[in-house]
Homo-oligomer: A and B are copies of this chain.
Amino acid sequence: MLHNLTVVLVKTRFPENVGMVARACANMGARNIVLVDPERWSEADGDPAKAVPLATPKGQDILSGVRVVATLAEAVADCAVVFGTTARTGGWRRELLSPERAAAEACPVLAGGDRVAVVFGPEDRGLTNDEIEHCHRLLTIPTAPEASSLNLAQAVLVVLYECLKGASAHPFRPGPAPDSRLANHAELELLHDTLRDTLLAIDYLRADNPDYFMMPVRRFLGRTRLRRHEFDLVMGVCRQVKRMAALAHATPATEGTTPEGSLPDDTGNVN
Let me know if A82 is at the binding interface, CB within 8 A: no
Let me know if A180 is at the binding interface, CB within 8 A: no
Let me know if A144 is at the binding interface, CB within 8 A: yes
Which residues on the B side are within 8 Å of A24 (C-beta)? Answer: 151, 154
> Could you give, for residues 45-76 of chain A, a 1 whenever the CB lies within 8 Å of some chain B CB and a 0 otherwise?
00000000000101100000000000000000
| A149/B20 in contact, CB under 8 A | no
Give the contacting residue for A154; candidates B1, B142, B154; CB below 8 A: B154
How many residues belonging to A are interface residues under a CB distance threshold of 8 Å? 31
Complex CA–CA separation, A158 to B141 (angstroms): 11
> Could you give, for residues 25-58 of chain A, a 1 whenever the CB lies within 8 Å of some chain B CB and a 0 otherwise?
0111100000000000000000000000000101
For the complex of A and B, 9 pairs with smallest distance between CB atoms: A29-B144, A58-B147, A26-B147, A27-B143, A154-B157, A27-B147, A27-B150, A158-B161, A142-B164
- CB proximity to B under 8 Å, residues A150-194: 150-151, 153-154, 157-158, 161, 164-165, 168
| A27/B153 in contact, CB under 8 A | no
